Amino acid sequence: MTTKVKFGNQHPTQSVILPYDRSVSQRAVERYQRTGRNCYDWQIDMLEPLLAIDEDDLWVHQKFGFSIPRRNGKTEVIYIVELDALEEGLSILHTAHRISTSHASYEQVKKLLEDSGYIEGEDFNSIKAKGQERLELYATGGVIQFRTRTSSGGLGEGFDLLVIDEAQEYTTEQESALKYTVTDSKNPMTIMCGTPPTPVSSGTVFTSYRDKTLFGKSKYSGWSEWSVEDMKDIHDVESWYNSNPSLGYHLTERKIEAELGDDKLDHNVQRLGYWPKYNQKSAISAGDWSRLKVVALPVLKGPLYVGIKYGNDGQNVAMSIAVKTLSGKIFVETIDCVSVRNGNQWIINFLRKANVNTVVIDGAGGQNILTKEMADFKLKDPVLPKVSEIITANSLWEQGIFQQTICHKDQPSLSSVVTNSEKRNIGSNGGFGYKSQFDDRDICLMDSALLAHWACSIKKPKKKQQKRY
């Protein structure tokens, strides 16, 4: 007996498609099929509006964006469009965030040309310089260039089709350099494809485009996505099928099971297409923070963990505490944020009286002075975090908020800073921190809270010693 194959959802969970009567998608599919490959149903359905044309033979969607979880074949949709564009004699710029991604796309389009029966050197020209790859189809004059994105790349050049792969990393600076490259075309199109941004994604253009298009604020624009509206349990198989149209084709339940780990947020973003709120105006929205509010003080369990942050401008110092609750969450609260001119005695007095497990101090302007004063009062040595640990602390804070493992009593000072914050880059490997959106709200208040949260999160409870006789 043959088991019936179950396929993922073949239709977008959200889309904005402008009215159209004609499409050249069938032409593109037939050219792709000459390679010996076949399109999935969802790819055919997406190509139809993507390649829709009006009565003047202009693209109905001058811009089109789509978001699909990883390993579903979203870039294959781009390759089908690019192969058709080459056959139509168009000039194409394919951009990606990483050199490896750009080069892989070059290799794939070259393979599609070869599998279509074209011979390198006779039918098409190929330039393999990594980061500057190029293919030209002699019969039509169609050209495609593959580039990694920079803030100046593409200036002074003109194309008919602009492709933004890994669009979640597309920055406003890169957009300023690239958006004018299709202006001189008689029939321009820009396609953006990617996944929802992660906490360390640097791009904001993709999220902004999605928001504007879904709310009908972008002209000549289309959008499609496979996503979940709310966070799902990582073992929720139905949500896998909801968000992964290629499930049942090359993607299987077994492959997804092998991916599963402990990071619920990462699974929801990467595999289920969940769009978190950290690329809104504030990195942490008022709604996200409000959901963590408790009316009454929860039952606290164990000692306090203290975070102390000296502001980058050297004016203020803030102190916050974190403590585990009986329900397994971490309760955070700010003690105070005062001028450094007032000295550190208020901090020392608190540390001497409280049941403190760990003190974390950040801020070169005051670390050494406070550490010495703590030693004078015979207090336990503090933790002076390295840059890598600061990056981890910021990521854990982000995860704690969106996974709702943090709780607080809605202190006006802390809430005001948290819900008016932006991300800033730290280090050279994609790490991030926060900055305030307003000069009168010192981010060190939140930084002290997230340092305390970090210390509380990583501290493992002591195991009771077992005696055997």
Instruction: Name, in order, each residue with C-beta under 8 angstroms of 261's C-beta and a sequence gap of 6 or more.
Output: 267
Query: What would the pLDDT profile of 40-56 be if each residue is shown by its tens digit?
Result: 999 999 999 999 999 99
Tokens encoding 329:
């969450």
Q: Is the same domain home to 327 and 435?
A: yes
Token pair 């009168």: residue: 440
Domain boundary among 235, 270, 305: 270
Q: What is the pLDDT of residue 262?
A: 85
Whether 196 is covered by a domain: the verdict is yes
Burial of 423 (0-12, 13-18, 19+ CB in 10 A): buried
Give dist(CA 432, CA 379) in Å, integer. Answer: 32
Q: Is the same domain home to 105 and 143?
A: yes
CATH label of the domain that carries residue 25: 3.40.50.300
Single-letter residue type at 220: Y
| Total number of domains constituting the chain | 2
Q: Is the same domain home to 108 and 235?
A: yes
Q: Residue 457 to residues 163, 388, 450: CA-CA distances in angstroms?
A: 41, 16, 10
pTM: 0.62
The domain in which residue 264 lies consists of 14-270
Whether 464 is covered by a domain: the verdict is no
Label residues 37-69 b or e (16+ Cβ within 10 Å = b). eebbebbbbbbbbbbbbeeeeebbbbbbbbbbb
Q: What is the pLDDT of residue 466?
A: 53
Q: What is the pLDDT of residue 265?
A: 85
Q: Is the same domain home to 184 and 229?
A: yes
CATH label of the domain that carries residue 414: 3.30.420.240
Q: Is the same domain home to 329 and 241?
A: no
Residues of the chain with pLDDT under 50: 1, 279-280, 469
Sign of CA pseudo-dihedral 40, 43, 48, 51? negative
Q: Is the same domain home to 59 and 187?
A: yes
Q: What is the pLDDT of residue 279?
A: 42
Helix (H) and strand (E) counts for the chain? 15, 18
Which strand (E) or helix (H) includes residue 421? strand 421-426
Whether 277 is covered by a domain: the verdict is no
Q: Is the same domain home to 191 and 299?
A: no
Whether 1 is covered by a domain: the verdict is no
Single-letter residue type at 389: E
Pair 58, 216: CB distance under 8 Å? no
Q: Is the same domain home to 260 and 295?
A: no
Q: Is the same domain home to 227 and 183?
A: yes
Q: Is the same domain home to 381 and 233?
A: no
Domain boundary among 238, 270, 302: 270
Give dist(CA 286, CA 420) in Å, integer. Answer: 8
**Bridge pairing between strands 189-194 and 161-164:** parallel
Q: Is the same domain home to 419 and 296?
A: yes
Q: Is the same domain home to 69 and 204?
A: yes
